[in-house]
């Protein structure tokens, strides 16, 4: 069986920012993913201080105080926390 490999680039998160309505993640390869905060109710409803306390992981982001974990692959696929 042949397997099709697709180069997806370096999807490690290197920065996280919030606008009024979006979560914006910068990836190591320079891309930015902007997703609606409405997709992530825990982040949407959290204080700015709680949002600012996150841990970057190889393939995602973890907010320990909020018990929220987002995977970059899921964000790229448009997967929401409310699905």
Question: How many other C-beta atoms lie within 10 A of the C-beta of residue 74?
Answer: 16
Q: Per-residue b/e over 39-70, b at no fewer than 16 CB within 10 Å?
A: bbeebeebeeebbeebeeeeebbebeebebeb
Full residue range of the structural domain in which residue 73 is found = 13-77
21: left (phi over 0), alpha (psi -120 to 50) or beta: alpha
Mean pLDDT of 67-75: 93
Is residue 70 assigned to a domain? yes
- The per-residue pLDDT for range 7-30, each reduced to its tens digit, is 566 889 999 999 999 999 999 999
Is residue 27 assigned to a domain? yes
Report angle CA 23, 28, 30 to the nearest 5 degrees.
75
- The per-residue pLDDT for range 25-68, each reduced to its tens digit, is 999 999 999 999 999 999 999 999 999 999 999 999 999 999 99
Is residue 37 assigned to a domain? yes
**According to the model, what pLDDT value does residue 26 have?**
97
């Amino acid at each position: 069986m042949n397997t099709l490999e697709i180069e997806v680039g370096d999807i490690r998160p290197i920065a996280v920012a919030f606008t009024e309505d979006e979560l914006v993640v910068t990836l190591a390869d320079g891309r930015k993913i902007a997703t609606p905060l409405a997709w992530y109710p825990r982040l949407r409803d959290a204080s700015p201080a709680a949002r600012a306390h996150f841990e970057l992981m190889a393939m995602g982001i973890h907010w320990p105080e909020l018990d929220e974990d987002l995977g970059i692959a899921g964000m790229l696929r448009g997967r929401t926390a409310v699905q």
